[in-house]
Amino acid sequence: MKDMDVFSGASDRGPSDFDLIQEIITEYVEQPSAPFPRPGPPPADLLDQLPCSQHPRMHQQSSSQPVLVARGTAHQPNCTFPQPQLRLGNSNEMASAPPSRPGTSLSNPSRRGQGLCLPASRKSVGVSSQSRSDTEMLERILDNPKLVVVEEPKDRGMRFRYECEGRSAGSILGVSSTDTNKTQPAIEIQGPIDHIKRVTVTVSLVTKDPPHRPHPHCLVGKDCPPGSGICVVTFNPHTNRRHSFANLGIQCVRRKELDMSLQKRRSQNIEPFQNGHSKGIEDLDMNAVRLCFQCELEWEDG
């Protein structure tokens, strides 16, 4: 092209933007870096209170020296914590021991915890004997023998008779009784009887349906005290655990004598189920009763 200048890369227009950026980066890299701000030193009084192992200056000096350890060895902390001091003393200084339970005796009950590490004294031996006796009594209660009715009374086929009839009330037969083999209601004492001296069984009549209450009809027979309406037998279970009630009959009471008969049970303290005597007698079933057996155990030690 005629009369025109040719433009070259090194023109007179000055440095380009790329050159300026490169110059700024070069100056920033060559400039020495300023240190970052650090926290100030702790107060002097706090440094004086720290142990030597926790002093920052001592820690820096100790940590600057490299230490070679075997592979697999756990890291040991440089900072150690103060351990509480344990005060050792005799058993008389155990003030932190828990208080004794009520009913237990220590060698000196005036001080709490005293005598817990001392040999047992005569008084503690007495407590052990008492505890052993209580344990035996508890085992005796838990292992009490029980009364089991092994022969139930026959539920039908017996007629109640009035006293004014002048005839025998008959005998209550057992449920397994037959024409050729007569049986009677029977009980048996089952369980441990080692320390039992005597067994007393009281038999009374109660209502058929629950709640079972004393029934005004009376039991009569050879083991029934006259006019009591109940049967009381006493036997030694070591001789025979089982007892059969032979010649035990039922005598019915007239309507006008119901209150008097129940009053007699009340005076004898015959209330097996504690359901009360004062409820009405209008709903009583006079044609059905149940036998109730109460057992009292007499122990050898009274």
26-83 pLDDT, tens digit per residue, is: 876 666 655 666 676 666 665 555 555 555 555 444 445 666 666 655 555 554 444 4
Scanning the chain, the segments in alpha helix (DSSP H) are 17-30, 44-49, 56-64, 122-142, 258-267
Output the average pLDDT for the chain: 72
CA angle 102, 104, 110 (to 5 degrees): 85
- Considering the domain boundaries, does residue 71 fall inside one? no
Question: pTM of the full predicted structure?
Answer: 0.54
| 80-129 pLDDT per residue, tens | 444 444 443 444 443 333 444 333 333 333 333 333 333 333 333 344 56
- Considering the domain boundaries, does residue 62 fall inside one? no
What number is the average pLDDT over the span 117-144? 56
What number is the average pLDDT over the span 206-225? 92
- Considering the domain boundaries, does residue 116 fall inside one? no
| 266-298 pLDDT per residue, tens | 888 888 887 765 566 777 889 999 999 999 999
Count of structural domains within the chain? 1
- Considering the domain boundaries, does residue 112 fall inside one? no
- Considering the domain boundaries, does residue 34 fall inside one? no
CATH number at residue 185: 2.60.40.340
Where in the sequence is the domain holding 281, given as residue range(s)?
146-299
- Considering the domain boundaries, does residue 111 fall inside one? no
CA atoms within 13 A on the CB side of 265: 27
Pairing of strands 161-162, 248-252: parallel
**pLDDT value at residue 188:** 97
Cα separations (Å) of 270 from 191, 205, 220, 230, 253?
26, 10, 16, 9, 17
- Considering the domain boundaries, does residue 196 fall inside one? yes
- Considering the domain boundaries, does residue 83 fall inside one? no
What number is the average pLDDT over the span 12-17? 66
| 153-198 pLDDT per residue, tens | 998 878 888 887 766 778 899 999 999 999 999 999 999 998 899 9
